[in-house]
């Protein structure tokens, strides 16, 4: 009986030691283009640490406005570098915590096979009624779309056909539902989507979509927030990010 008790105690001790000492959660604001990889990363983070990353998705600009007005986010995954840098300058973010977690790629996409050619010449032909982009004042992918059209000298002719989504998610939805025949979206949104037609926009046509993350002061004392930032830099998260078509430094 004594030996049995020792075995049971040893088994229970092993379970306690193997389990996370304390499970916590962190509030993470995530740029809409990063929705699917962020979900996978959060699941891997939970499995590895026992902590939960509570994800909110939207445009980087809208998130910044919310954070400036006291929204309780603890980690900010922006679609650009400007807003995380501004968060540091405005005293919202922990200095030195900012880093590039992904470099995004812009895609011109249509659900219609053959509409978008491999060189993006469809933009100069203009044989469509609507083209969707994310609002450039709030979403960096929208800014990249405007820069691309400007560089190709087609912005003036296409402006009457542009429909703007509040985020890159809505820009994609316009195309997916047929409200626009084609649109500028994030490669991560369509990398697993079969069919249609697409053009991977050369990075020479717009400024790099340097997506940066930063730890906010609201999460400075939350170990789960710091752990999520660390996990985002690790090999498991990096592998997920690459699989969705992003480049990583």
- pLDDT at site 249: 82
The average pLDDT across 61-72 equals 96
Residue 18 falls within a domain, yes or no? no
Residue 69 falls within a domain, yes or no? yes
Residue 15 falls within a domain, yes or no? no
pLDDT tens for each residue of 4-19: 334 333 333 333 333 3
Residues of 111-120 as b/e, b for ≥16 C-beta within 10 angstroms?
beeebbeeeb
pLDDT-derived band at 20 (thresholds 50, 70, 90) equals very low
Residue 2 falls within a domain, yes or no? no
Q: Are strands 52-58 and 25-31 parallel, antiparallel or unpaired?
A: parallel
Residue 138 falls within a domain, yes or no? yes
Q: Are strands 162-165 and 25-31 parallel, antiparallel or unpaired?
A: unpaired
The average pLDDT across 171-190 equals 98
User: Cα(218)–Cα(7) distance, rounded to whole angstroms?
Assistant: 45
Same domain (yes/no): 113, 97: no
Q: Is the pLDDT of residue 134 over 50?
A: yes
Same domain (yes/no): 149, 119: yes
Backbone φ and ψ for 182, nearest 5 degrees, come out as -155, 165
Same domain (yes/no): 185, 158: yes
The gap from C-alpha 54 to its chain's centroid, in whole angstroms, comes to 14
Same domain (yes/no): 51, 82: yes
Q: Is the pLDDT of residue 197 over 50?
A: yes
Angle of helix 235-243 relative to helix 223-233, nearest 10 degrees? 60
Same domain (yes/no): 40, 96: yes
Across the chain, the runs of DSSP E, i.e. the strands, are 25-31, 52-58, 75-77, 99-104, 106-110, 131-134, 162-165, 182-186, 197-200, 209-215
Same domain (yes/no): 45, 78: yes
Same domain (yes/no): 99, 219: yes
Q: What would the two tokens of residue 17 be?
A: 């030691």
Q: Which of 15-24, 98-107, 151-160, 201-210 has the weakest average pLDDT?
A: 15-24
Same domain (yes/no): 112, 97: no
Q: Is the pLDDT of residue 148 over 60?
A: yes
Q: What is the pTM of this model?
A: 0.86
The average pLDDT across 107-126 equals 96
Range of the domain at 126: 106-200
> What distances in angstroms separate CA 151 from CA 124, 171, 197, one per listed residue?
12, 21, 22
- pLDDT at site 23: 77
* 216: three-class secondary structure by DSSP: strand
Same domain (yes/no): 47, 114: no
Residue 43 falls within a domain, yes or no? yes
- pLDDT at site 22: 54
Same domain (yes/no): 118, 49: no
Residue 6 falls within a domain, yes or no? no
Which class for 69: exposed (0-12), middle (13-18), buried (19 or more C-beta within 10 A)?
exposed
Same domain (yes/no): 46, 166: no
Q: In what order do the strands lie in the sheet with 75-77?
A: 52-58, 25-31, 75-77, 209-215, 99-104
Q: Mean pLDDT across the chain, nearest whole number?
A: 92
β-partners of residue 53 are: 26
Give the CATH number of the domain where residue 239 resides. Answer: 3.40.190.10
Q: Is the pLDDT of residue 67 over 50?
A: yes
Provide the number of structural domains found in the chain: 2
Q: What would the two tokens of residue 236 be?
A: 């498991």
Residue 161 falls within a domain, yes or no? yes
The average pLDDT across 117-132 equals 96
Calculated CA dihedral for residues 13, 14, 20, 22, nearest 10 degrees: 0
The average pLDDT across 64-92 equals 97
Percentage above 70 pLDDT, the chain: 91
Same domain (yes/no): 136, 175: yes
């Amino acid at each position: 009986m004594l030996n049995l008790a020792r075995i049971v105690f040893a088994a229970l001790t092993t379970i306690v030691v193997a389990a996370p000492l304390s499970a916590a959660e962190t509030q993470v604001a995530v740029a809409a283009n990063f929705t699917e990889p962020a979900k996978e990363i959060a699941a891997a983070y939970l499995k590895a640490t026992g902590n939960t990353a509570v994800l909110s998705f939207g445009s980087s600009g809208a998130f910044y406005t919310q954070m400036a007005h006291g929204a309780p986010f603890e980690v900010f995954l922006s679609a650009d570098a400007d807003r995380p840098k501004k968060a540091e300058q405005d005293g919202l973010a922990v200095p030195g915590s900012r880093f590039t977690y992904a470099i995004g790629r812009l895609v011109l996409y249509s659900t219609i096979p053959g509409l978008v050619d491999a060189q993006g010449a469809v933009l100069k032909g203009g044989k469509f009624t609507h083209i969707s982009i994310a609002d450039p004042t709030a979403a960096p992918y929208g800014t990249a779309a405007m820069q691309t059209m400007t560089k190709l000298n087609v912005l003036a002719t296409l402006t009457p056909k542009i429909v703007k989504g509040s985020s890159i998610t809505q820009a994609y939805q316009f195309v997916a539902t047929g409200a626009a025949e084609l649109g500028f979206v994030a490669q991560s949104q369509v990398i697993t989507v079969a069919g249609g037609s697409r053009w991977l926009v050369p990075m020479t046509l717009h400024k790099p979509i340097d997506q940066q993350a930063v730890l906010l002061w609201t999460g400075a004392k939350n170990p789960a927030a710091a752990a999520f930032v660390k996990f985002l830099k690790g090999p498991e998260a990096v592998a997920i990010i690459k699989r969705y078509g992003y480049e990583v430094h």
